[in-house]
Structure 1
Amino acid sequence: MKNKKRGKFLGDVWFQQNVENRMRKTLREMQARGKMRNATIEGLRGTPWYKEEFQKHAKLFKEERKKQTEERAAHARSASLNALAENEALAERDKAWAAKHENDTDEQLLDYLRQCAAELGHTPMRREVLGSTYITERFGNWSVALTVAGLYLPKKKRPKQTALDAYTKKRQKAESLK
């Protein structure tokens, strides 16, 4: 952490402030017992008591920060594993859906997209639609599928004309083979 004006490293100041806050608590407890009345941390700086307490509290503070860091890392690993498991389960459901609907016509898939949009109340994102991977493969990309279905897309999300043309050619080719 740098102070941009002075170019100083402020990590040491932050550390000292946190350790001194812990020391203030100890000092208040001592004052409650009748010791070190009217003393302040600022006034005690440089004394043997301050140096001893600072070392003790600095060690405790570092241990506490290390423990917090380890807990955050463990939580992140756990969340990552959960997300991975969810993604794998979703991929399996997507594959099952694709196998079930592989013989559907484009119009049936578009109706399905329109139905999903009606249920959600907005144009669906890929992750919101079961079978989105299959639909994307079938239409070339997600934006093309939504556009052909007649669903609203913001200007920056609309497919390029080349992608729409590629789908049109693909569809015409499939119809000529029938």
Structure 2
Amino acid sequence: MQNLVPIACMACLVMATTASAQTPASQPSSGAIPDKMPFDIPYGTAIGLDAAKKLLAMAEAEAKRRDWKMNIAVVDPNGDLLAFERMDGAQYASIDVSQRKARTAARFRRETRVFYNQFETGHAYVGTLEPGLVASPGGFPLVEGGKVVGAIGCSGGTGDQDAVVCKVAADTMK
């Protein structure tokens, strides 16, 4: 019986070595290679404070209509805070989350739901892209004249509730 354990271990080692020898040195990419860069939206001049305040008001009005307590942040194209509002009773933890959702949407030029969907489908590498990245619905880039001029992020409810509130404001941009 004692001789069987080393023999079994040697067999495992031989099989592992054979399997790794058959694996090509470079692995194929994780998916198809697109012809064009995804989310290739140029950055523009940041929206002004007055426009940011109007977006906050629109998002707040939608949240109040639904009786959802939200934290709402608007950032410039680099993800730096322009305007912020915490509705009465909104959870404190969501202050930072709303700002990081907006930052993620601005810097990566895409809705934060994209990262959520990637995590949900097993693409854990997303968490290695940037320390402050938020992979949760509720962050939208603000695109005006075909350029990213900022982003809005909401947090306080479920990801889908956050997205509904912020999308109302984001959709007003042209």
Alignment TM-score, normalising by the size of structure 1: 0.25
Larger-Rg structure: 1
Greater strand content: 2
Greater helix content: 1
